A = this chain, B = another copy of it.
């Protein structure tokens, strides 16, 4: 059962790649299943054999993109850095990555509406949001009580800037503004223990590459 499985996985991946491009170029609504079929030279039956529906296809694309992002950000942050440093580096890396139209359109714009906000956040918690929350906790800059909420606000703010930069192109200015923003947040209250050391596990992804 090898040749068959391999062929199946290959076409699945091919469809995934094509769908990623189409979704990012035309949005979820603007991309028809028939476009995907045409570009992948596949039949309806074949596609629906691999993916339960258009939304499931989108979700698979979303997961793949998120996983890739997580890897790239984790690779950017210098290991052994302080949590504050990691937070800064990670945020800037994220903003630069989000220059990619694929990420903008799929992850930031369409996902909440297509997947629903709750599912979006649930998935993000396993990727970018989870990473940010662990790093923010390691800085010990915010009380545990507010950690979740501050992490939400911070991620939303950074995502917004990612979109803003992508449109205006004021990269340097935005990056300085984000650093300023972060500095203000981190310099708030400090419970005393001093800057926390960042364990490698704080950045590690929790999930295996999903295959649904």
Contact = CB atoms under 8 A, between A and B. Distances in A.
A15 B83 CA distance: 53
Contact of A177 (B110, B150, B161): B150
A183 B152 CA distance: 17
Interface in A109-138: 109-110, 112-114, 117-118
Q: On chain A, which size bracket covers the interface?
A: 35 or more
A174 B156 contact: no
A181 interface: yes
Given A28-B113, A156-B160, 16 more contacts: A27-B113, A109-B117, A110-B113, A112-B113, A117-B167, A118-B167, A146-B173, A146-B177, A150-B180, A152-B164, A153-B157, A153-B160, A153-B181, A156-B157, A157-B157, A180-B189
